[in-house]
């Protein structure tokens, strides 16, 4: 454990050291971790968008196929 500061100037110097260390840690988090986290979130977002697009496309194709079958049946019954 570090020596306890006794005078006011020692307290100020000690606080300045803590502030410098804290600002270094914040800078590291900002420049390193947040950049990687942002890239990872973008990758996840792209995957979810692709899955959602595939789901919507499948649903629309299904509704379209059912509609075509329904129209075919109506035309068949009307032609008799």
Distances 51 to 2, 48, 55, 58, 65 between C-alpha atoms, Å = 55, 5, 6, 11, 21
pLDDT digits (tens, 9 = 90+) for 21-51: 777 777 777 777 666 777 777 888 788 888 8
Predicted model pTM: 0.46
Helix intervals (H) in the chain: 8-28, 34-79
Distances 31 to 4, 18, 35, 55, 73 between C-alpha atoms, Å = 33, 20, 6, 37, 64
pLDDT digits (tens, 9 = 90+) for 42-79: 888 788 888 888 999 999 999 999 999 999 999 999 98
């Amino acid at each position: 454990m570090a020596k306890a500061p006794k005078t006011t100037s020692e307290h100020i110097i000690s606080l300045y050291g803590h502030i410098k260390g804290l600002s270094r840690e914040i800078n590291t988090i900002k420049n390193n971790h947040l950049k990687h986290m942002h890239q990872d979130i973008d990758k996840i977002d792209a995957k979810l968008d692709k899955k959602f697009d595939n789901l919507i496309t499948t649903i629309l194709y299904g509704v379209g196929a059912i509609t075509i079958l329904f129209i075919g049946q109506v035309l068949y019954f009307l032609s008799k």
